[in-house]
Amino acid sequence: MVVTFATVGFESLGISQLSAILKREGHEVHLAFSVSLFHDRDHLHVPFLARMFDDRQRVIDKIRETQPDVLAFSVLTATYQWALSIAREAKSLRPGVKVIFGGVHPSALPDRVIDQPEVDIVVIGEADLAFPRICAALENGGLTGQEISNTLYKLPDGTRVRGPQDGFVMDLDSLPHYDKAIWEEYVPQHDSYLTMASRGCPYRCTFCFNSFFANLPGDKKTGYIRQRSVDHVMEELRVVKARYRPRLIRFYDDVFIINKPWLKEFCERYGEEIGLPFQVEIHANYMSEDIARMLAEAGCVQVDLGVQSANESFKRRVVKRSEKNDKVAESIAWLKKYHIHVRAHHLFGLPGEPLESQEMARQLFLRSTPGMIDTYFVMFYPGTEIVGQALASGRITAADVEKMNDGLELTVFLRPNRTIQPEHLPIYRGYQVVLKLMPQVPAWLRPHLDPKFFSKAPPFVSNLALFCADVVFSLGRLSVSHILYAKYNLYHIWRHICERMGWPVRGATRIRIDRRFPPTVAPPKALGLNRQ
């Protein structure tokens, strides 16, 4: 069976995992990828440049070329309308293709998504077991009313069939390593290699998909936080080092440091067996000086630390985050002691948060300044608890929720959305500029950065300051993540020009040694497959 994944904006580990599983089952897998320069549905949106570098047709051409039996999408709310438009055109090109929607957005709204005429099947929750079962059923007579776990589909007469919601896969070592070959053409694996050593998060922050995703299974006996063995991770990274020798390994785990015995073994072996710079995401409540030292000795060069708000009582009550400001400051100090770059995350516009919370954040970061402060405006997503909070407070209306559920009127995290009260926008903007500049200026100057000045300054002054903080200072300090992001975009700008001119262009990834992962044998009984 031929399966083509279509996606936009960024590399998806979910697609990499499913591709590896399907290839292990003997299916032919392809990728139709839109880089979508200047409109990545996350951070960046410059409309006139996005139109100039639009590569949507590349996705359609790939679908036409591969002639898939199954066209699959891993869908976020921000990519939902894009996915529907691609599915619609694919159906006109190949009427018999089965379209599968999975990911966070369909998992939150399965019945709404299956209503769409372009969508045949919805996978709810993790798809590691459901997807190969769907493909096996399609090969062996089709979907004719049988129930498949974590799956909702519709019959030709419109009848909906939904299987039970199974628990999460507990043994992550039973899954094959991520298939990165499908990304090599467009994502430079030799620059930055993305992976995960665990799944799940111990927290249920109200703005995060984990607040509902963890509760999807009907069987509550299975856990949500799962880790691969250190052996399994090392096996992957030894191949990655030989094949690509990337400049940076990026671990995308929700909280990388959650299991200290596992972390100790990982750090000891990583430094000896891999020895490449890496970055992780952490939580202050799990941080200690011992962990900072272990990470540094293993080669960790950057951590991402979610702070979100410095108003402790509000954060605990509304956001469901329990870390104290003293613990945040202590964590930053430990990491800086061991020369690990700290990138802190801060949110503006949380429903019901007092404006004075922003001054609390400024004081916190003055006391312990990280290497970078990323600021974001809160976004509302289906299924998350914060949507109910925003409705109750009047921040959003029922009509807003309807548009959100359809993936409409979204903006990017770096810009305020229209639910922010207009009189608060200048205040947020002032603090945004100050927090962005704070790590980039000398310590003696930081207390003198005045949010009121930037709140009252003309917009071009604030925008120039933000540009300097995000681009000029970061690149000037040789920030690895900023340099690799700039390099990625420059490559695709050049590639787009070459393709328009009909010039040959090499793939994005430089392969050093053609080494591949050792074959893994699928456990048919565990997957419930019956392939002839």
Please list, in sequence order, all residues whose beta carbon lies within 8 angstroms of the beta carbon of residue 274, skipping any fewer than 6 positions away.
234, 237, 238, 241, 249, 299
Query: What is the spatial distance between Cα 502 and Cα 499, in angstroms, rounded to a whole number?
Result: 5
The model's pTM? 0.94
Strands 98-102 and 28-34: unpaired
State residue 412's pLDDT score. Answer: 52
State residue 340's pLDDT score. Answer: 97
Check if the beta carbon of residue 228 is closer than 8 Å to that of residue 251: no
State residue 194's pLDDT score. Answer: 98
Instruction: Name residue, tokens 């909702």.
Output: 152
pLDDT along the chain (532 residues), means of 10: 96 98 96 94 85 95 98 96 98 97 98 97 97 97 95 95 94 97 96 97 95 85 90 97 96 98 98 97 98 98 97 96 97 98 95 95 97 92 92 88 87 63 91 94 96 92 84 70 87 94 94 80 44 30
Cα 241 versus chain centre, distance: 23
Cα 425 versus chain centre, distance: 27
Fold exhibited by the domain 188-484: pyruvate-formate lyase- activating enzyme (3.80.30)
Structure tokens at 241: 């080092």
* Sequence ranges of the domains in the chain: 2-170, 188-484
| Domain 2-170, CATH | 3.40.50.280
Query: What is the spatial distance between Cα 433 and Cα 15, in angstroms, rounded to a whole number?
Result: 36
What is the per-residue pLDDT across 242-299, written as a single tens digit (0 to 9) for each?
Answer: 999 999 999 999 999 999 999 999 999 999 999 999 999 999 999 999 999 999 999 9
3-state DSSP assignment of residue 127? coil
Query: What is the spatial distance between Cα 289 and Cα 388, in angstroms, rounded to a whole number?
Result: 38
State residue 413's pLDDT score. Answer: 52
DSSP 156-217: TTS-EEE---PPPP--GGGSPPP--GGGTTTS-TTTEEEE-SEE--S---TTSTHHHHTT--
State residue 531's pLDDT score. Answer: 33
State residue 220's pLDDT score. Answer: 62
Query: What is the spatial distance between Cα 199 and Cα 98, in angstroms, rounded to a whole number?
Result: 29
